[in-house]
Amino acid sequence: MIIHMMNIVIRYEDLKRWEKIGNRVFVYGRRKTGKSFFIKNFTNYDYYFFIKRDGGIIDIINNKDISYDYLKDILLSRKKVVIDEFQRLQEDLLDFIHANYEKINLILITSTLFLSKKILEKHSPLLGLFEEFRIDLIDERDIIKYLIDKENGKELIEKAIYFREPWIIDFVKGNIREELARIFKENKYTFESLIGEIFNEEERELNKTYINILTSIASGKNKSTEISSYLFSKKIIEKDDPSIIQSYLKILQNIGLINKINVFNKKFDYYIISSPLLDIYFYLEGKYGISENDIVYEIIKEVVNDKIPFHVEYFFNSLLSKIYGLNYYKIVEKNYEIDISLFKFKELKIVGEVKWKDYIDKNEIKEIENKLNKFNCRKILILPNKNNLEYYPENIEVLDVNDIINLVKI
C-alpha cells in the first residue's frame, strides 16, 4: 500500500500503546479523531469490513458486499479481522462473537456514544472479552514532531493545539488565528454535522442535555455545581442537583469529549472540553448561537484570540505531564491560580506560569516571581521567545518554543 505522506501525522505514541495490545480489541472514541485511518494504515490485519447503515457488510480490501454467513466463517478462520462501525451489526452477531471469542482475532471500531456506554458498562455480551483502546486527539508530542519542519515560534505551538484534530489540517492554509476564524465562519455546518454524528440515534432525545453540558463548560462553568445550575436555568434538568448529571459527564469523558481535572486539596473536579476546536465552537454557540446565526468574522476572530491563551495553558500542562511522567492537578486558591502544576502522587514537582505574549515587563515578571516562589519545587515560565522578557526572573527556569521542541525530540 502506498500512502501519500504530505499531511499524515504519524501517531508514534498510539503505536507504542498498540504494540502491547492483544488479539481482541475494542477501538473507540469520538468521530473524526482518526480511528479508522490509524487502524487501516498503521496496523496489521487480513480483512477489513465496514458495516453500512442498513446493516450490510462491505469487504473494503476486495470492494464487494458479503453475507453474514461469510463474515462468520472468516471470524472462525483465526485471521486478523477488522469490523468498522460494528454497532450496526445484527444483534445475533455479538452473541456469535461471545460464543466463539477464543477462536477470534478481531478489532472492533465504533464512534457511537451510546454503544460506548453500552459496551463499557454491565450486561454486554462483549464485556471482559476485549481490551479497550481509546483513540483521542493526536498526542501533543506527535503533532509537534509533525510541525517542526513546517513552522516555528508561536505559530508552531498554536497550530499544534488545533491540528490535534486531524481533520482540520487540510483546511488550514495560512496563519492559524485567521484561518480558524475563517473556518468557523465558512464551515459551521461541518461542525454541526460532526457534533450531530457524535451522538447516536438511540439517544437523540438526550442530545440536548449533552450539548448544553458542553456549552456550559465552554462558557467557563467548569465545576459540576456550575454545570448543574446552568442546565437547571435552561430547564434541561428538573432540579439543580449535580448528582443528576454525573452519568452524562462520565459518558462525555469515556467518549473523549471532556477531560476531568482533579483540583488539589479541594472537594470538586474541574471539567474542560478536550478539543480546543470544539471548545471554541461551543463557546460561539452558547454566546452567539452560531448554529442559527450568521456571526461576523471579526467577532469570531476575537473569540479565537481570547481562547488561545487558555488552550495554550492546557496544551503545555498535558505535554509536560507526559514528558516528565507526572500528573496534572489544578491549583486553585482564594487569591490566585497556578497555570502549570504537576505532581508525583500528591507531591508537587513542578509549578509554572504561561505568558503567551510578545513582551513581559518587569512588573509582570515580579508578579510571577511572587506567585511561584511560594512553592518549594521546580519553577518554570513558558513563553514564545526568551527575548520577550524585560529581565530573567529569579529562581525560575524560562522555557520558550525552541526549548519545548528540544524536550519533545529527546
Phi/psi of residue 59, nearest 5 degrees: -85, 105
- pLDDT digits over 67-78, tens only? 999 999 999 999
Q: Rounded to an integer, what distance in angstroms lies between the CA atom of residue 90 and that of residue 164?
A: 34
Chain centroid to CA 211: 16
Of 247 and 410, more confident:
247
Of 20 and 124, more confident:
20
Is residue 270 within 8 Å of residue 143, measured between CB atoms? no
Mean pLDDT of the chain: 90
- The reported pLDDT for the residue numbered 202 is 47
Confidence category of residue 191, pLDDT binned at 50, 70, 90: confident
pLDDT over 90 (residue 176): yes
How many C-beta neighbours within 10 Å does residue 399 have? 18
> Percent of the chain having pLDDT more than 90?
73
Amino acid letter, residue 150: K
Checking DSSP bridges between strand 347-354 and strand 340-344, what pairing results, if any?
A: antiparallel
User: C-alpha grid cell for residue 47?
Assistant: 480483512
- pLDDT digits over 333-389, tens only? 888 889 999 999 889 999 999 999 999 999 999 999 999 999 999 999 999 999 999
Amino acid letter, residue 83: I
Decide if 12-134 and 174-308 have a common fold: no
- The reported pLDDT for the residue numbered 3 is 40
User: At the topology level of CATH, where does 174-308 sit?
Assistant: Arc Repressor Mutant, subunit A (1.10.10)
Amino acid letter, residue 109: I
Mean pLDDT of 231-258: 90
- The reported pLDDT for the residue numbered 74 is 96
Mean pLDDT of 93-121: 81
pLDDT over 60 (residue 168): yes
User: 3-state DSSP call for residue 47?
Assistant: strand
Confidence category of residue 5, pLDDT binned at 50, 70, 90: very low
Domain ranges for the chain: 12-134, 174-308, 312-409
Of 113-117, 125-129, 266-270, the poorest mean pLDDT is in 113-117
Q: Return the CATH class of domain 12-134.
A: alpha beta
